[in-house]
Amino acid sequence: MPCTFQIDDVLGETVGCQFGVDERDLIEFDGKAWCHFHLPLQVGGAASEKTQWNVKQIEAFNEAIFERIDRAKAASEKADLSGVGFPAGLSFELYARDGLPEVSFRKARFGEKCSFDNIIFASYASFEAATFTASARFARANFSTLAKFDDIAIAGTAWSNEATFGGNARFLKARFADKA
């Protein structure tokens, strides 16, 4: 049984997990099998084991995400991080100088203290239908081209002071529970 995660691609076709995690490494939660990337932080108030990960587990997860981004960047491809459940404390500060490649965080879920402060988005960035369980930090971020935040949900404050947009920025049906 593969990872439960599914998403509709740009052509409306349903596609599954993009990570190719071995079935023996899947995690049972909410009656479904998930890879550690797509394992939700919570479903209907029930928290997954990801919310209890220790520092070592979070660092290994972050390193795997950064390796995926770096491979995409080296190959001039999109970093597809659609549907990823990011645990608390993730910072993309590694990409403050050289920038992120084209990246999709479509339907991603971000835990507390995830930060995109000072990040350069060197190409198209999609946060469509992403969820931030707390604040969303984009202070001094630089979006070089189109940035989509359609249907984004931010449970805390959305920080985007001094962010710059070199192209269009879309926020259709964006929901902010606190200040933006």
Residue 115 belongs to a domain with what CATH number? Answer: 2.160.20
Quick one: 64 and 44 in the same domain?
no
CA-to-CA distance for 103 and 106, rounded, in angstroms? 9
Do 39 and 65 share a structural domain?
no
Residues 42 and 60 in one domain: no
Q: What is the pTM of this model?
A: 0.92
The predicted pLDDT at position 10 comes to: 73
State both tokens at 9.
């691609």
Same structural domain, 47 and 64: no
**28: helix, strand or coil:** strand
Per the structure, the complete domain to which residue 94 belongs is given by 53-176
Widest CA span in the chain: 46
Specify the pLDDT at position 85.
Answer: 96
Residues 160, 165, 168, CA angle at the centre, nearest 5°? Answer: 120
Domain-ending residue, one of 17, 32, 52: 52
Q: Backbone phi, then psi, for 137, in 5-degree steps?
A: -110, 120
156 contacts 135 by C-beta, under 8 angstroms: yes
Asked whether residue 143 falls in the same domain as residue 95, the answer is yes
Q: What share of the chain is helix, strand, coil (3-state, %, to 5)?
A: 15, 25, 55
Within this chain, do residues 10 and 59 fall inside the same structural domain, yes or no?
A: no
User: Which CA distances in Å does 144 have to 76, 127, 141?
Assistant: 16, 15, 10
85 and 7 within one domain: no
Same domain as 58, residue 30 = no
Token pair for residue 150? 């359609």
Which residues pair with residue 32 across a beta bridge? 29
Q: What is the pLDDT along the chain (180 residues), one digit of tens a residue?
A: 689 999 987 777 888 999 989 999 999 999 999 999 999 998 988 999 999 999 999 999 999 999 999 999 999 999 999 999 999 888 899 999 889 999 999 999 998 888 999 999 999 999 999 999 998 999 999 999 999 999 999 999 998 999 999 999 999 999 999 888
Query: Number of folded domains in the chain?
Result: 2
